[in-house]
């Protein structure tokens, strides 16, 4: 890698930790707090078997409470790092730092998080990465503040200079309205070191607040494989958008100008909240960690197929199902609540 050339590592690159921001009673999770904490404990347990878990607590009392919950789940607390900062919500994928390598050393990028285009309060969440740095979570690493609105769930990389994203999200006027597509690409080239852009123009899930984050729709499993949501029910509202997304994915080429190996992930049966609104359940929202892949499940008949398919995509990793039926009640899933921190970021 040339000096000063940045490299955006893929999710399967060796990790030091995964970051979580724990739900608390002053968030929208309050009515479901015990249930969602059980999911967070389960996620923490499985991550801790392979790497460190960095957890943001809202205050000292919650820090102690989290400590107890993790102990009850059997988490090895020597693999947990707890820090304190009050947040608006819990979606670490979108307010956590994005890591690149520069001069063979990790560099943390702190992009602006504005609550998915101003839909929800985000000022406290936007302070979390800097607060963790101040508290020593990242040792002596540098953190660069970037005056550009970007969420981690909006971007996927193959580790070879390609960025996969959606035009509906990154080009939304509620994010960086003064910039053209060319200017947005220039910012991402400079900050992430990417060279190629694959823009998905189709695909959306009902109930998704993110304006079609790529991590709900299509994911790199390796530099030549993309797993993506697929709907074969012509009566489902997702049928046409996901058919069009598949057709566009078929036109994409990898760095060697070869068509991608495209892997269909089933769509779970429709899930609804108490008000009858459809929820964005998706198997594409998996998390790759060291030696394993954590996969969201939804107590659905399609769960088993999704797990089998992803095992074929990741033959050398353990596939770990995590019931995320509660997480989708707030319109996100497993990948949305986590942010991987590559090797060298946390010691």
pLDDT band at 3 (very low <50, low <70, confident <90, very high): very low
pTM of the model: 0.97
The percent of residues in the chain predicted with pLDDT above 90, rounded, is: 97
pLDDT digits (tens, 9 = 90+) for 81-138: 999 999 999 999 999 999 999 998 999 999 999 999 999 999 999 999 999 999 999 9
H/E stretch holding 313:
helix 303-313
pLDDT at residue 318 greater than cutoff 70: yes
pLDDT of residue 347: 87
CA distances, 11 to each of 40, 89, 253, 284 (Å): 20, 23, 20, 14
Cα–Cα distance for residue pair 296/307, rounded to 1 Å: 9
Domains of the chain, earliest start first: 15-342 (3.75.10.10)
Cα–Cα distance for residue pair 25/318, rounded to 1 Å: 34
pLDDT of residue 255: 95
pLDDT of residue 91: 98
pLDDT digits (tens, 9 = 90+) for 63-79: 999 999 999 999 999 99
Q: CA dihedral defined by 38, 287, 320, 207, rounded to 10 degrees?
A: 60
pLDDT digits (tens, 9 = 90+) for 216-234: 999 999 999 999 999 999 9
pLDDT band at 5 (very low <50, low <70, confident <90, very high): confident
Q: Count helices and strands (H / E) in the chain.
A: 9, 18
How many residues appear in the chain?
A: 347
CA distances, 33 to each of 271, 273, 329, 338 (Å): 20, 16, 12, 18
pLDDT digits (tens, 9 = 90+) for 256-267: 999 999 999 999
Cα–Cα distance for residue pair 78/319, rounded to 1 Å: 24
Beta carbons of 66 and 57 less than 8 angstroms apart: yes
pLDDT of residue 4: 58
Beta carbons of 322 and 43 less than 8 angstroms apart: yes
Report the candidate in 241, 233, 245 with the shortest Cα–Cα distance to residue 269: 233
pLDDT at residue 2 greater than cutoff 60: no
Could you please report the per-residue DSSP string of 121-149?
--TTGGGHHHHHHHTTTTTT--EEEEEEE
Name the average pLDDT for the chain: 97
Which residue carries 């989290």 as its tokens? 66
SS3 18: strand
Give the pair of three-digit tokens for residue 276.
């009858």
Q: What is the DSSP letter of 66?
A: H
pLDDT digits (tens, 9 = 90+) for 331-346: 999 999 999 999 999 9
Cα–Cα distance for residue pair 36/164, rounded to 1 Å: 30
Cα–Cα distance for residue pair 30/34, rounded to 1 Å: 8
């Amino acid at each position: 890698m040339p000096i000063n050339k940045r490299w955006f590592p893929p999710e399967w690159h060796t990790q030091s930790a995964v970051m979580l921001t724990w739900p608390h009673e002053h968030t929208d999770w309050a009515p479901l707090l015990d249930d969602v904490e059980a999911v967070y404990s389960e996620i923490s347990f499985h991550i801790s078997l392979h790497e460190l878990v960095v957890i943001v607590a809202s205050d000292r009392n919650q820090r102690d409470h989290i400590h107890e919950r993790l102990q009850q789940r059997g988490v090895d607390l020597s693999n947990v790092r707890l820090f304190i900062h009050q947040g608006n919500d819990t979606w670490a994928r979108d307010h956590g730092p994005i890591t690149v390598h520069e001069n063979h050393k990790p560099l943390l990028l702190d992009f602006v998080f504005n609550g998915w285009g101003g839909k929800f309060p985000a000022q406290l969440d936007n302070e979390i990465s800097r607060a963790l740095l101040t508290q020593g979570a990242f040792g002596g690493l540098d953190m660069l503040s970037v005056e550009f609105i970007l969420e981690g769930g909006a971007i996927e990389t193959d580790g070879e200079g390609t960025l996969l994203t959606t035009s509906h999200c990154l080009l939304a006027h509620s994010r960086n309205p003064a910039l053209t597509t060319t200017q947005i690409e220039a910012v991402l080239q400079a900050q992430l070191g990417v060279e190629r852009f694959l823009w998905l123009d189709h695909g959306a899930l009902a109930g998704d607040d993110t304006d079609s984050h790529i991590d709900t729709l299509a994911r790199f499993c390796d530099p030549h494989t993309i797993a993506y949501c697929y709907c074969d029910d012509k009566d489902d509202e997702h049928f046409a958008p996901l058919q069009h997304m598949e057709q566009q994915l078929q036109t994409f080429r990898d760095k060697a100008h070869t068509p991608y190996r495209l892997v269909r992930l089933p769509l779970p049966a429709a899930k609804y909240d108490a008000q009858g609104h459809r929820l964005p359940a998706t198997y594409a929202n998996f998390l790759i960690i060291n030696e394993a892949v954590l996969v969201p499940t939804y107590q659905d008949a399609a769960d088993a197929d999704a797990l089998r398919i992803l095992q074929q995509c990741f033959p050398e990793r353990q596939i770990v199902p995590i019931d995320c039926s509660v997480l989708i009640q707030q319109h996100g899933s497993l990948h949305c609540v986590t942010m991987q921190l590559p090797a060298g970021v946390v010691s």
